Structure 1
Amino acid sequence: MNAQQTDVKPFKCEICSLRFTQSDSFNRHKAVHGMKPYSCDTCRKTFLTKSNLTVHKQIHTGEKPFKCDLCEKSFLEKGNLTKHERIHTGMKPYSCSTCEKAFRSNGELTVHKRIHTGEKPFKCDLCEKSFLEKGNLTKHERIHTGMKPYSCSTCEKAFRSNGELTVHKRIHTGEKHYSCDTCEKTFSKQSNLTDHKRIHTGEKPYSCELCQKSFTFSSDLSRHKKTAGHLKKLESTKNTVPLSTSTSFVDCGEANVKLEIKEEETFDVDPLSINMEAENVEENIKQEIEGDETEDKDCNDIIEHKIEIL
């Protein structure tokens, strides 16, 4: 290449020797080699494109140029505003081909599909727990590090994620964005609204694997598993005891109790000893269970009353 051609294309890639006329074209080319040529002057984070760097800088300046006309919430990027506006319009243009559930963004659909495939591509190096989303892994890792980078400006309480902080702030502002279509009751969190709606629908998605009893809320199932009746039923399954090491195991729900099942050569256990052991279990947890059962009854009474008056 002669000197005149070099002047026309002054930007040379040191990896593949290609030359470029403009610096922007040269920088875009660097991405082919995995390089991130655009660097933030404030935090030194690097980016593949100049536009990504521009958006990133707004984090430091606090600028959020894209504002929602309906609730005045503002965003760093136009795409995030578009997705947010669908909360107001109810528009969900992305549908799952497996279960037909619809979503506001293609990103939400992509994550949802992993529920069907079982894919959890983001793994924790410390405990090997895996996640559907990168953000959930990042938040999880802070459990190990103890890092809570998001602080409330009102009470200075700290949180592992910005989402947790956003929900917390509603305690101070009194905001409740999520409204029930049936009774118009409002909630500060989407998950609370989802739980509430089951009062109207009668849905009971939480089932005990041991007795098949179902519950409206996960907390009700947890309380159930602590009751004397549930623990007694666990004990009643131990009717035989293995005489050799050739055994299989059954996992009994959240209690994580493994019941040994002998396929052959078993002898019967004295039912009286089983009953005595169960009675001892009842006595040891009696005070806790009485409180739990009372609370459970009160909760059920409230739920039944709500259904009755709707």
Structure 2
Amino acid sequence: MTTPSEPGDGRPDPGLAAIMSERRQLINLAYRLLGSLADAEDVVQETYARWYTMSRQQQDAIAVPGAWLTKVASRLCLNVLASARARRETYVGEWIPEPLPEPTEWISGRSDGITVDPADRVTLDESVNMAFLVVLDSMTPAERVAFILHDVFRYPFTEVAEIVGRTPAACRQLASSARRRVRAARAPATPAARQARIVRDFKRAWEAKDIDALVGLLDPDVTAISDGGGLASTVLHPIEGAEQIVRSLVHLEGRLRDLRILERTVNGQPGLIAQQDGVTVSVYAFEVAGDRIKHIWAVRNPDKLRPWTVRP
């Protein structure tokens, strides 16, 4: 994103550094609200565009620019969330939030020659793990915004109400409803080291085509969901059950030649990526409950793999 270094009247902008310092916070907020880095980037760009269309006098009249930027970005996210429901009706197959790598693994170059600004990197914590984002995606736009702003970013309900366009009491109810959804879907906590071990064992069993080992690592009611977006071949509907998922995995590796499976951190948790000819073609996120894998999310849509794509 390019931003003017000074306002339209030609005078130096003494507040530019302070305004731009909000960018990481806005990216983090927008990604959690939308589950899409591309949409989050668009929202932040539009937010700054609106700031710079104002006169210096209008900007100076805003007591807390950061709060203004957050309010505008949040309202834009509300609009995107409302329109996303209509867009999903035409989306090919299942939609999964965009997976993100560990910051140290973030590919800084893009195929279009643009360098990814470090300020665009999302801070990874429990509020961006894939299971959490999937639950967020089941909420209404107002629930999601109220919950993220209050429970994750600690905004008081009086400020949330201004953004959502409802009373503080109504926003409290929205956040409470969202909280119940999160609690109902949350699996018992599994230590990170155990998660990593289970994912590593899954990788080894997959590579060895050890069907018995794979089945043993999966919860009997495990669900696997793939997202190709119509741009990459994948199963269009969720697969349920350990044996069905294992058959699909073995078939996938047999169909894709020279598929290399690597351990990576996906949205802050142990995950896997699949590379073909050195290019990341799939990212796998997992939810582990106890000693079994409960959910698998496979993202193959190349539009969602930009941070993972190896530069030529």
- Shorter-chain TM-score bucket reads under 0.3
Could you say which structure has the greater relative contact order, defined with CA pairs below 8 angstroms and 6 or more residues apart?
2
TM-score, structure 2 normalization: 0.24
TM-score, structure 1 normalization: 0.24
Larger Rg: 1
